[in-house]
Copies of this chain bind each other. A is one copy, B any other.
Amino acid sequence: MNELYRYLTLAASNDWRRQDERQRSEDKAEFVSAVEGGEGIAVHAYSLVGTRGDADLLLWVLAEELDAIRAWEARCAATRLWAQSSRPYAYLAARRPSPYLGGHRHADGEAERPAGPVGDLPYPVVYPMTKKRSWYALPREERARIMAAHFATGHRYPDIRIHTGYSFGIDDQEFVVAFEVPDVRRFVSLVSDLRDTESSSYTERETPIFVGRAMPLREALDHIDGAVALAELAR
């Protein structure tokens, strides 16, 4: 229950997009090999094509140790795609037991699940979140009461799964919240409902919001330069 989460986005430069198709294909293969060969980590890939305008790829990295993440990122840094991309958003967070759940446990609760995505749902939604400082001035029991109402709304959407990361002091937000979602409209509905909860008024910031599409890394890369579309055309 103390694994580290690293969220990393990639935006390909126009320089790279203008390389010829064969070169791009080789660069993607090199990148896949670097990403997938890391030790002590697990990596999940999501395409941001179609949902953001400022990033193309989201990687969700899990590790027990920060050094494993660093070693893995150095592997990535040795690739040609990395040297022709930028990382417009990157987040670091750690798993911890929720201070508001106490001894309360239920079968599909976060604390009972292994770290990281289960992977059975197509759309991850990820965002950094920071609460107003006035939240922390409330008595613990008051916060627990407010969070209970928040959780209750979430429980009305059992088909949506949450993963909470804690970034206090190690990144610019307090939390990185990730969801696995069956359909984006379903998530619009949940978040719209959550606006009416008391907890909502204590949110300082919860953007940018990333909606990804789970897929193999190579396929996600093939979305960036449209190779996936060309392949379809050629069929």
Q: Which A residues lie at the B interface, using CB under 8 A?
A: 2, 4, 6, 8-9, 13-15, 17-18, 34, 47, 49-54, 66-67, 69-80, 82-90, 92, 94, 96, 99, 123, 125, 133-134, 136-137, 166-172, 184-185, 187-192, 195-196, 198, 200-201, 203, 207-209, 211, 213, 222-230, 232
Contact = CB atoms under 8 A, between A and B. Distances in A.
**Could you say which of A2, A70, A187 has the most chain B C-beta atoms within 10 Å of its C-beta?**
A70
Given A69-B50, A78-B227, A83 B172 contact: no
A125 to B, nearest CB: 6
B192 A170 contact: no
**Copies of this protein, total:** 5
A200 B132 CA distance: 11
A207 B86 CA distance: 21
Contact of A74 (B49, B184, B198): B49
Contact of A209 (B49, B123, B170): B170
B53 A9 contact: yes
Contacts of A213: 66-67, 70
Given A82-B226, A94-B184, A99-B192, 5 more contacts: A14-B15, A14-B83, A78-B225, A83-B225, A133-B203
A70 B53 contact: no
Contacts of A2: 185
A137 B222 CA distance: 45
Contacts of A53: 8-9, 87-90
A94 B192 CA distance: 12
A78 B96 CA distance: 42
A232 B17 CA distance: 30
